């Protein structure tokens, strides 16, 4: 592709959540600090909310890599599971033997026994679920019951939920009020600022091995921040396409033309109207209505 053309070791803007490309931006560092603090204090439920493409899965992988050694983790990337499927998945992650074959009653007992074993060995256990907004209602209740397992001094199982804002909408329902009350730490990821987008792009290029002149000017990165609304996934998509276009034309400096073509080629972005044009349109309509009303009152025909 364009690796040799730009002197890169690897693709800098893939959508795979590679922690080698992790950049400690303020929202992600804050979220990671909240997670580690909450886990160390032994809280039952911890929640991180973020819009699609804001880096939740990357943050989840970063947590798995940096969590203290005394933690035993059970990671479930796709939690669209019925309660019994969820229990079996947790049991498998915790190393419960023959978890797929035993009855649910015996399975629950074995999970509790395993949690007690790990606790007596000095371990803390944390269940991490990505895309938690996909959990069925019955499975959300099963999660709450999981956190009922405790000793006199601490929970035997902590739960971290990474989810889209739809989870907050569900937790606002009366049926989930008990679960909501157990969420003691929560963090909401925000999109990147224009300055953070510039830093993000340069960082990923550097990690990928780029050593040449500045590919993306400040003016270009500012426009990328605007059209992507600061969402990392959209920034990656746009930058990847711009590099492909630059390579196709034999260019070593990316331009507004490359950005325009990348936007046109990106589903759902080509029809977005910049805010300044939207505002100008609103003002024009307001002026027309005002004139129309004035003419109507004064009896001026159109």
Please give the biggest Cα pair distance in the chain. Answer: 88
- The C-alpha atoms of residue 293 and residue 85 are separated, in whole angstroms, by 64
pLDDT (tens digit, 9 = 90+) per residue, 121-138? Answer: 999 999 999 999 999 999
**Cα 259 to Cα 76, 253, 289, distances in angstroms:** 37, 12, 36
The secondary structure of residue 132, as a DSSP letter, is G
Q: Say yes or no: 102 and 65 in one domain.
A: yes
Q: Say yes or no: 100 and 142 in one domain.
A: yes
Q: Say yes or no: 86 and 235 in one domain.
A: no
Q: Render 74-106 in DSSP notation, one character per residue.
A: EEES-----HHHHHHHHHHHTT-TTTTTS-HHH
Residue-level pLDDT at 202 = 97
Residue-level pLDDT at 274 = 45
Q: Say yes or no: 10 and 38 in one domain.
A: no
Residue-level pLDDT at 1 = 76
Residue-level pLDDT at 283 = 40
Q: What CATH number should be reported for the domain holding residue 107?
A: 3.40.50.300
Mean pLDDT by 10 residues, the chain (302 residues): 92 93 92 92 89 94 93 92 92 90 89 93 94 93 84 85 95 92 92 96 96 93 95 96 94 92 80 42 41 49 42
Instruction: Domain count for the chain, please give it.
Output: 2
Q: Say yes or no: 248 and 215 in one domain.
A: yes
283 in a structural domain = no
Residue-level pLDDT at 268 = 66
Count the alpha carbons within 13 Å of 275 in the hemisphere toward its beta carbon. 6
285 in a structural domain = no
Question: Mean pLDDT in the chain?
Answer: 87
* pTM of the entire predicted model: 0.84
Q: Say yes or no: 170 and 38 in one domain.
A: yes
Where among 188, 217, 250 does a domain terminate? Answer: 188
pLDDT (tens digit, 9 = 90+) per residue, 96-109? Answer: 988 888 898 899 89
């Amino acid at each position: 592709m364009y690796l040799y053309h730009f002197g890169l070791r690897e693709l800098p803007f893939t959508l795979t959540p590679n922690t080698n490309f992790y950049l400690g931006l303020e929202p992600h560092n804050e979220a990671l600090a909240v997670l580690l603090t909450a886990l160390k204090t032994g809280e039952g439920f911890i929640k991180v909310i973020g819009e699609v493409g804001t880096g939740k899965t990357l943050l989840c992988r970063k947590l798995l890599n940096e969590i203290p050694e005394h933690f035993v983790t059970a990671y479930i990337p796709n939690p669209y599971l019925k309660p019994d499927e969820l229990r079996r998945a947790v049991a498998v992650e915790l190393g419960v033997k023959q978890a797929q074959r035993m009855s649910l009653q015996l399975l629950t007992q074995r999970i509790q026994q395993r949690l007690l074993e790990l606790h007596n060995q000095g371990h803390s256990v944390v269940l991490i679920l990505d895309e938690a907004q996909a959990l069925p209602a019955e499975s959300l209740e099963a999660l709450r019951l999981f956190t009922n397992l405790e000793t006199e001094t601490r929970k035997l199982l902590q739960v971290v939920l990474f989810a889209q804002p739809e989870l907050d909408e569900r937790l606002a329902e009366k049926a989930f009020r008990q679960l909501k009350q157990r969420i003691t730490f929560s963090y909401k990821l925000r999109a990147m600022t224009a300055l953070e987008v510039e830093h993000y792009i340069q960082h990923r290029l550097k990690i990928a091995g780029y050593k040449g002149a500045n590919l993306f000017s400040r003016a270009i990165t500012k426009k990328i921040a605007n059209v992507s609304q600061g969402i990392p996934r959209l920034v990656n998509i746009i930058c990847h396409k711009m590099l492909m276009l630059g390579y196709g034309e034999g260019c070593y400096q990316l331009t507004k033309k490359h950005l325009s073509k990348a936007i046109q080629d990106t589903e759902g972005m080509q029809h977005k109207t910049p805010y300044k044009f939207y505002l100008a349109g609103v003002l024009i309509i307001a002026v027309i209505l005002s004139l129309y009303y004035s003419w109507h009152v004064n009896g001026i025909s159109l």
